[in-house]
Structure formats: structure tokens, C-alpha cells
Chains A and B, each alone.
Chain A
């Protein structure tokens, strides 16, 4: 699944580590989600959406 995580993170000038800290996950998790190697669970997707103040569908996109 594609996502706009990298763009959204860059807009806020956050590193992967910064985002990981805010989400309380590992930096490896953020990297795996960003690069599309791992699709987060619904609860984590909601946490990401809440953090960016956006609906899930504006962050995670259909192929």
C-alpha cells in the first residue's frame, strides 16, 4: 500500500526517529511503513492519522 508518510514527515521537518518517538514505535517500523514494506494495523494507522490531523485515506492510498 502506498502512503504519503515521507512527504508529511518532511513538511514538518521530522526525521524518521522523531516520528517513531511520537508514535511510540521503532525507527525501523517507520522506515518499513514509509517504504511500503509493511502495512500498519488499523489502530496504528489511526494513531498516524491522529498525529498528522488527517483522515487515514489522505495518508494511505490504494495502489
Chain B
């Protein structure tokens, strides 16, 4: 599927934000020693990469808002709903397991990557139910 202007803008934003995220993670790793205490300074530095991840979410929201093709927008929103449902179900399920059993603790950091994997599942659901997986971003 040829990219529309909204998809091109989304890709440009994601490239810039990804570069910023990698730079912020490297900077935080370099500045904060292992097992550093949570002081205002270490927290502030550690939160810089979170600005980039918040930027990813902003870019996705802008992408959906800027899509002029209502059918493609529906496919994308369906993907996001599947990803959200899957992530909430997995997070809640694992959280309950952690509460009652000795399963390994999963860091909250992994919620976002799991949601992104959920988008692929959403694309598969679109393909199976509508016959069209939607744009591959």
C-alpha cells in the first residue's frame, strides 16, 4: 500500500523520536551509576527517555488524527483497540499471578513493547475478520 501524507509524517516523527530515545537511554546509562539512589537528579535524567516514549504515543495520536482515509483510520483504530485489550489482559493476568504466586516479576517498562506487539496481532485480526490487515508501519 502506498504511503499517504499522514503515514509519511508519522514515519518521519518516529525516526526522530527513536533517535532521541536511543540518545537519551545512552546518556542516562552513562550519567547514572548502577543501583543509584532515586534522587531528584537521577530521576530527572532517567525520565528523559520517557519523554521520547511519550512522544511515540503523541506521534501515534497525531497519525490517527491526520489520516484522511476513514477506512484506513478504522483499520488502525481496530489494531490499537486489540493491542490495548491484549496488553491490559496480559498485564492484569500477570499482575494477579505475581500477587498469588512466585512467578518472576515483570518490569513495567515492558508494557509499551507488549502493546506494540499487540498492534501486529491487531493487524492479523483485521486480516482475518475484514480481509485487510491495514498499513504496515
Contact = CB atoms under 8 A, between A and B. Distances in A.
A44 interface: yes
A18 B131 CA distance: 22
Interface in B89-137: 130-132
Interface residues of B, number: 11
Given A37-B130, A37-B131, A37-B132, A28 B70 contact: no
Nearest to A20: B69
B64 to A, nearest CB: 15
Interface of A: 24-26, 28-29, 32-33, 37-38, 40-41, 44
B130 A41 contact: no
Which of A25, A41, A44 has the most chain B CB within a 10 Å cutoff?
A25
B72 A26 contact: yes
A29 B71 contact: yes
A33 B70 CA distance: 11
A38 B74 contact: yes
Dominant secondary structure of chain A at its interface with chain B: loop
A24 B68 contact: yes
Given A28-B1, A32-B130, A32-B132, A38 B71 contact: yes
B4 interface: yes
Which of A24, A32, A40, A44 has the most chain B CB within a 10 Å cutoff?
A32
Contacts of B131: 37
Contacts of A29: 69-72
Given A25-B70, A26-B4, A40-B71, 16 more contacts: A24-B68, A25-B69, A26-B69, A26-B72, A28-B72, A29-B69, A29-B70, A29-B71, A29-B72, A32-B132, A33-B71, A37-B131, A37-B132, A38-B74, A38-B130, A41-B70
